[in-house]
Amino acid sequence: MVSGAAGALLVLAVGLLVYRRRHDHKGGEYDSLGPSIVVYPSYHGKAPQFLSSDISFKVPPIAKLRHTSSLDAMDLLDSDDQSPSGSLGAASASTTTTGNTLSPLSTHSQRSNSFSGCPLGALDPALYRGGAADLEEEMLFPEDHLGRLWFSAQYEPTAEKLQVTLIKAKNLQSRTVATTNNCDPFVRLHLIPDERRHLQSRQKKKTCNPVFDETFVIQVPSKDLEDHVLRMTVVDAGRNKRRAVIGHVSFPLSRLSDDDATKSTVYKMDLEKDTPETVSDLGEMLVSLLYNENLHRLSVTVIEARRVKQFRDDRHEAHVRVVLQQHHGQVKVKRTAAVRCADDNPNFSECFNFHVPAASIDVTSLSLHLEQPSARYGRGNKLVGKCVLGSYMFARGKALTHWNTAFGNPMQQVQQWHALAV
C-alpha cells in the first residue's frame, strides 16, 4: 500500500519536471523571435523572412538651434526624446555611439525646409513685395480733385489681348464733406468707340482710397490700337442704389505702341469730369419713370415735347414710339396716339408699363423716338429725334442719372427733360 503511493508520487514528480523543461524550451524560442524583423516579400514572389541579426543605429545628436529654424528644432527634440534611457541616452547629447565606443560629436548639418530663414508664425516680407503697397505715394492733391487711379496695361500681339490691372485709387470724392469713408466705389472699363461691352470691378465698401488688385482681359485687334481709347469710370454705388459717377480716365491705346507694349507698365492718371452735354436744336422731351420693385414693373410716361424746331414749319401729326431693349435686342415696342402739332410743344401724356426684373436692370434700356408719318404713302415714319435712357452700358449724363435715380428710389415718380438727337 505504501509502495504504491510512493510510486505514484515519483511518476507525478517526473511528469512535472518534463512539463517545466518543455515550457522553458518554448519560452526561449519566443524570446529569440522577439528582436527579429519581418522582411516582406519583393515583387519576385519570395516568402517573408525573419532576420534576428543586430541592427546598428546612431543616436541623433542635439545641435545648436538657430532662431530661424523652428521645424528643425522640433525634429531634434523629438529625436532626443526617443533616444535610449540610461547612461547611453545621457551621453548621446554630446557623443555618437559606434558599437561600444563613444566618439566626439561631429558638426550637425542642418537640413533645409520651406520655413528656413523665417521663424514659424512670422511674416515673410518677400511675399508682400510689389503691388499697390510699394507704389510711390503722393499725398498732395490739387483743389477740387476728383481722385487718382493707378493701373497697368500690357498688350499681347500674338493673342491680340489687352491685359489691364486695376491697382488702386486715392482721394476719391466722398458723399459727405470732410469724410474719407463715405464712398462705395467700383470701376467700369470699356473701349471707345465700341461701348457695347463693359467690364466691372468688385465694389469696395466705405473707403475713398480703395485697393482693387484686379486684372481684366479685353480682346483688341492690333489694327484698333491706334484709334481706340480705354475708358475707366469710377462710380460711387451710394445708398439705395443711387449710383453717381465720380469721374473717368481716358487712356489712348496708341500709348502702348509708343512704349513697349509687351511690358507691363504702371500708369497713374487723375479723374476727369464728364464733358457737358451740348444743347440740341431738335428739341427736348419730358419723360417720367416710376419703378415698382414688388411687381418688377417700370412705368414710362411720355408727357410732352418742347422747342421742336421741325414742328414750327410742319403742322403734321406726331407720335412717340417707346422701345424696351435688353442686350441690344428689342423686347417690347409701344407707341402713343398721334397728336396734332398745333405748335412746337406737343403734349402726349400717355403711360406704358414694362416688366423689368431686378436682375435685368443693368442690361435694359429705353429708346423714345419722336416720329411723324411720311408725306409719301408706304415710306413709313419720319424720325424727328430720339433719346435713350438706360444703365451705364447704354446711356450717359442726364439719361444715366435719370435711370439710376428712378431705380434707386422705387415707387417715386422721377421726371427729366432729355435732349433729342438723331
The residue out of 233, 248, 270 marking a domain boundary is: 270
Residues 199/189, Cβ–Cβ less than 8 Å: yes
Quote the pLDDT of residue 227.
79
The CA distance from 282 to 277, in Å, is 14
The residue out of 240, 270, 300 marking a domain boundary is: 270
| Residue 89, burial from CB neighbour count under 10 angstroms (0-12, 13-18, 19+) | middle
Quote the pLDDT of residue 51.
61
* Whether 246 and 322 share a structural domain: no
Residues 268/324, Cβ–Cβ less than 8 Å: no
Structural domain contains residue 93: no
Structural domain contains residue 414: yes
For the whole model, what pTM was predicted?
A: 0.44
Quote the pLDDT of residue 27.
54
Amino acid present at 334: K
* Whether 262 and 347 share a structural domain: no
Structural domain contains residue 136: no
Quote the pLDDT of residue 134.
47
Structural domain contains residue 375: yes
Longest Cα pair distance anywhere in the chain, in angstroms?
160
Structural domain contains residue 256: yes
* Whether 155 and 258 share a structural domain: yes
* Whether 288 and 415 share a structural domain: yes
* Whether 309 and 337 share a structural domain: yes
* Whether 258 and 304 share a structural domain: no
The CA distance from 164 to 266, in Å, is 10
* Whether 187 and 305 share a structural domain: no
Structural domain contains residue 261: yes
Quote the pLDDT of residue 100.
43
**Domain range spanning residue 153?**
141-270
Domain with residue 336: its CATH number is: 2.60.40.150
Residues 172/198, Cβ–Cβ less than 8 Å: no
Nearest CA among 356, 410, 100, 44 for reference residue 240:
410
Q: What is the pLDDT along the chain (422 residues), one digit of tens a residue?
A: 667 777 777 878 878 887 777 766 655 555 554 555 555 555 555 666 666 666 666 766 655 544 444 445 445 445 554 444 444 344 344 444 444 444 444 444 444 444 445 555 566 655 555 444 445 555 667 777 888 999 999 888 888 899 999 999 998 888 777 676 788 899 999 887 666 578 899 999 888 889 999 999 988 888 888 878 898 999 888 776 667 888 889 898 888 865 566 677 889 999 988 655 555 678 889 999 999 999 999 999 999 988 887 665 555 788 999 999 998 789 999 999 988 876 678 889 999 999 999 989 988 999 999 988 776 665 678 888 899 999 877 887 788 889 988 998 899 999 999 988 87
Residues 403/416, Cβ–Cβ less than 8 Å: no
The CA distance from 233 to 361, in Å, is 19
* Whether 266 and 308 share a structural domain: no
* Whether 227 and 265 share a structural domain: yes
| Residue 41, burial from CB neighbour count under 10 angstroms (0-12, 13-18, 19+) | exposed
The residue out of 270, 301, 336 marking a domain boundary is: 270
- List, in sequence order, every residue forming a beta bridge with 215; answer none if it has no partner: 165
Structural domain contains residue 220: yes
How many domains is the chain built from? 2
* Whether 226 and 308 share a structural domain: no
Structural domain contains residue 107: no
Q: Measured between alpha carbons, how far apart are the two ends of the chain, in Å?
A: 143
Quote the pLDDT of residue 321.
94
* Whether 255 and 306 share a structural domain: no
* Whether 300 and 353 share a structural domain: yes
